[in-house]
Every structure is written in structure tokens, then in C-alpha cells.
Structure 1
Amino acid sequence: MNYEGKVYRPWTEAKSILIQTTLGCSINTCTFCNMFSDKRFKVRDIEDVFKDIEEARLIYPYVESIFLIDGNVMAARTDYLLKILDKLRHTFPESRKVSLYSGLNDFRRKSLSELKELKSAGLTMAYAGLESGDAVVLDNIKKRMTPEQAIEGMALAKEAGIETLLSFIFGLGGRDRSREHIVETTRLLNIMKPEQIAPMALAIQPGTVMEQEVKDGKFVMPTQLQILEEEKYLLENLNIDTFYWGDHGNNIVTQKGFLLDSREQFLAKVNRAIASNPMAKDSVIQTFAW
């Protein structure tokens, strides 16, 4: 199997085989991210993808879960993706799950009938980066997406039956826009109602635009307490039936489970951290590059 450049997958896909379907990210302008700085976005030749799928079959006698990489695989043409899904279905008949990265705008750029076709062909789940619900923050990080577009994209995915995990970043509003960031993110999530969410604490990646903004004083990092207070606000005000993947390595409090069942337990852990965790008193956020 052939991989080009750095390879990323969600931590929840640790047991999945990875099939590189696209190269890079179709957006690749986000100030906080350098995941695909080493390559330009490209859809791989389908015959090369087929060869990787066939080789994976020779290597793995049993495959339960498959994850398509790189960033924004959903940006590829629908007929191309249908061929990939058909090949996977026939090569790995035992597989129960096929997932991929998608931008919320990628959902918008396909018709509902196309999305339903992809679902019928075996696409189980999509991972999408919301990052923030605050229009100002989205503009500052050059996400090239508005809150209204995020709502529209999510609605199409839900109508098509494609389960979606939305990730977002505590602290992305910085020290000065922490409140607006979490209030608007929570509001948007209550509208969008994703089946799963994955909040993670901001980590400054080396070589990114945001790293330079921090050095220049244009972006002031939030405090550890602000990160905890953002999570507290989210847990107190989010009212959707969703699975909460709050166990990213950079999060101050580690927790996961169904939100409505675990809300009080989650809140208790955050409140304890606010009251007694020495990190909460630290004025400098302590997170690590991916």
C-alpha cells in the first residue's frame, strides 16, 4: 500500500485500515493547521486506489472498519467515490464501516440524491471540522465557511442518513473572544444536532500562520481556566442526543460517553478541575502539537 506525505486519521479510527483516496486538503488555508502543508490537493488515480485496496486484502484477512484519507475526501466527484465504495464492498464484504473526512461545505456541493447514493453504496460516517460557531472566529482562522453554510451542510448529511462527527476547538477564539466562541459554537451545535462531537483544546502547530500570530501578539492564547470554562458552558447548555468524544490528548479533563446520560458526571469533573487542578491557575495553556 502506498501513502504520500504525512498521514492523519481521527484517534477514534485507530483500528481502521487507511486507504489514501485524495492527497492533501481542498481548503488548506486554516491558520491553526499544517496537517497537509506538504502537498497540494489532488484526487488520486482510481486504478492506484484500487491497487491499494487489493493489496490491503492480501495483508488483512479480516477488516471491520475502513477510513478514507486524506482531508476532504468528500470533495471528490460522486461517481469516483461510488466506484471506490463499490470496490471496497466487493473486496471487504465483512466490513461494517466506511468513513472519511469531509468539509461541511463538501456536503453542500453535492445534491441530496448524490449523498443518498453514497450512503446506499456503503458510506457510513463522515468526520467534519466545525472548529467554531462564531462567524468572527471562522473568518479569523480562514476556514472559508460561514455558520449558515455549516448548518446547511449538516442538514443535508442528516437527511441523507450519513452519520457525522463534528470536531471543534476549545480556545480557538483566543483570550479575547473565548465567550463569543463557545456561546456561538454551542448554539450552532444545538441547531445542527450532530450524532457525535469531538471537542479538543487548542494546540499551536509549528510552522502555522497562528504560530506567527502568537509570536506577533495578534493572537493571545487563552488561559487554562478559560478552556475549562468553555467546556463547562458547553456541557451546561448543549441539549442534543450526541456521543461526546472529550478524550483528546490535549484536553485538560478526559471524558467520553453519551452526553445526555453523562452530563452531570462530566460537569462534576470539569468543576473539580476548575476548583482544584493546578493547571487551572496557569495563565499559559499547556497543549502539544499533533
Structure 2
Amino acid sequence: MLVPDLTSYSNLYRPPSEAFSLILQITIGCSHNKCSFCSMYKGVQFHIKPFEQIKAEIDYFRSRAKYVNRIFLADGDALIVPTEKLIEILKYIKNIFPECERISTYASPKSLELKSEDELKKIKDNGISLLYIGAESGSDEVLKNINKGVTSKELGDLILKAKKVGFKTSVTFIVGILGEKDFREHAVATGNFISRCEPDYVGILSLMLEENTTIYQEWLKGNFKEADGIDILKEIKLIIENINVTSNIIFRSNHASNYINLKGNLPEDKKRLIQEIDISLNKHSLKEKKYRLL
């Protein structure tokens, strides 16, 4: 019997909403691993774990967990596993964890492009129901600058492709990605992108400078300056103002990187979310006036 090697589990990443899920690592690293802002898998050679190793890890976790409601497949792009092998893994999970109600994973643009609709449908039918997709921006210029490897239209088409076969989609975007540069085109394009794709979940994160990234190196050279909190709030506001949808979207901007906690459903809470941002902006403006008077 193969003994599971869990040393690779020492540096795992998962979405905040998977905090209470069993993390099952079936790949190491990220198949793209070129984004200028991301340090998660730098220095890690992407590869797919052998099936026997994955089975041993599943068996190990089963022996220690009485009940598993949700499973998240790591690392950065488990969806890129060849379809037949991924389905074999999913069937084994279903057999060992019959009580599991949801399986989710990150999905890169590359993995969604490589899979046909028929393949995605088979994967969905065999257990994966939710895909986390890092879009970052709806702007072609920004996507090029951060080395995302895809255009806005291509990325939007891939999200719609995933939705068409029945996946729930959780898509994240980054504010402050341009630093002190004018954010308006990025914000408007991002709002329009969300309007077009209508993901089930939208998350807004603020850029965090991480070592071993291109943006961090540019910051060290003085070529990149971080956006201040006020511009971040204005950027989020402009994104929301340009989101016009009819389907329900669960909107969250409550990550640890964010300046204020925003959550609601679109389109019904659009006005309230904008008002909450305006309240924060007005409070800052009043403080600034007070300091000037002093």
C-alpha cells in the first residue's frame, strides 16, 4: 500500500469560502504561473500527481475525517488535468466520500480553453460544480500588462462556456492593479465584463505587493506606486456603477486586503453598495477638512 506523502501540503492556497473544505491536492503549482502580481507558485514546477498517490491521500484523509461536506481540488489549476484522469479521480472521491455535496477548483483560462464543452459537461456531471476563476480585469490593456495571457473577449467567452454546461462560477477582480495610474478604463471595462458574463459570484480584491513578483520588482525600482485607499474605493464604486445585470450575482468585497467590507446581491443591492462607499469617502473628506483646520 502506497504511503501518502503530504509534504507538498505545507504551502496550500484556497479561496476564502473554502475555509472549511477538505483540500485535496491533485496538481502542484499553476500551469500558467506568469501573472505579474502573483507569487503563490513562483519557483514551483507545475506537474500532476500520479493517480496512485492521489488515491493514497484520499484514503488517508478518509481515515481521519468522519464527515466531509465539501472538497476543494488544489493547486492553482486542477481543471487542467486530462479529462479521463480527472473523471477517474472524481469517481474515486465519490466512492470514498459519498457524503460530499460539493467539489470545486480553480480554473485557468488555459484549462477552460483546452477542454471541449463535452469534456466540461462530463467533468461537471462527475462532481465538480463550482469553478473559481481569476479574471483580474475586464480591460485588454490591464490583462496584457499583468501577463494574463488572454484578452477580455477570450476570457469572457471562456466563462460563458463554463456557465453553458452548468458550472457555477466565482470570478475575482483586482483593484489597485494599476497603482497610482488612472483606473477609470480598467474599472469601466471590468463592470462591463461582469455585466456580459454574469458570474454567480463576484469577488473584488485589492492588490497586495508580494515578493518574487514582477510588480514588486517594479515597486522596488520606483516604477510602480501603490494606489491609496481613497482611489481604491473610487475604483470599486466605478466598477459597481457599470455593472448592469438581470441575473442574481452574489457580490463580495470583504477580503482581508480590502479597505471596507462590502457584500450584497446584484442588481438589488447596487444602490446600497454605492451609498456605503460614498459614506466612507465622505467620512474621509470630513477628516481631511478637520486636519486642515487644525
TM class by shorter chain equals: over 0.9
Contact 1:3 / 1:20 at 8 angstroms: preserved in 2?
no
Alpha-carbon deviation of 1:136? Answer: 1.2
Structure 2 CA distance for aligned equivalents of residues 34 and 278 of structure 1: 35
Identity of aligned residues (%): 31
Where does residue 188 of structure 1 map in the other structure?
193
Query: 8 Å contact 2:83–2:123 — kept in the other structure?
Result: yes
Could you say which structure has the larger radius of gyration? 2
SS in structure 2 at match of 1:217:
coil
TM-score, normalised to structure 1, is 0.92
Q: Residue 77 in 1 paired to residue 85 in 2?
A: no
Q: Which residue of 1 aligns with 2:151?
A: 146
Contact 2:32/2:110, CA 8 A, preserved across alignment:
no
Partners in 2 of 1:170 and 1:3 — Cα distance? 34
1:259 aligns with 2:270: no
TM-score, normalised relative to structure 2: 0.91
Q: Structure 1 runs of 4+ off > 6 angstroms?
A: 278-281
In the alignment, is the contact (CA less than 8 A) between 1:232 and 1:267 conserved in 2? yes
Structure 2: unaligned runs, 5 residues or longer:
289-294
Structure 1 residue 280 displacement after superposition: 9.5
Deviation, structure 1 residue 220: 2.7
Matching of residues 42-121 of structure 1 within 5 Å = 42-121=47-126
- Separation in structure 2 between the aligned mates of residue 217 and residue 192 of structure 1, nearest angstrom: 36
Q: Does the 8 A contact of 2:131 with 2:170 survive in 1? A: yes
Residues 210 and 225 of structure 1: is their aligned pair in 2 closer, same or farther, counting only changes over 3 Å? same
Once the two structures are overlaid, the 10-residue window that deviates more, 253-262 or 137-146, is 253-262
Partner of 2:292: none
1:224-276 C-alpha deviation (Å, 9 max, x unpaired): 21110111112222123211121101111102232223223222211111111
Q: How many residues align?
A: 281
The alpha carbon displacement at 1:184 in A equals: 1.0
Shift of 1:41: 0.6
Closer, same or farther: CA 279–19 of 1 in aligned 2, 3 Å? farther
After superposition, give the CA deviation of every residue in 1:182-216 in whole Å (9 maximum; x if it has no partner): 11111111111111111011110122111111122
Please give the root-mean-square deviation of Cα atoms over the aligned residues, in Å. 1.7
Distance in 2 (CA, whole Å) between partners of 1:278 and 1:206 is 33
Corresponding residue for residue 291 of structure 2: none
Return the alpha-carbon distance in structure 2 between the equivalents of residues 83 and 233 of structure 1: 44
Deviation, 1:3, is 4.4
Structure 2 residue matching 1:165: 3-state secondary structure: strand
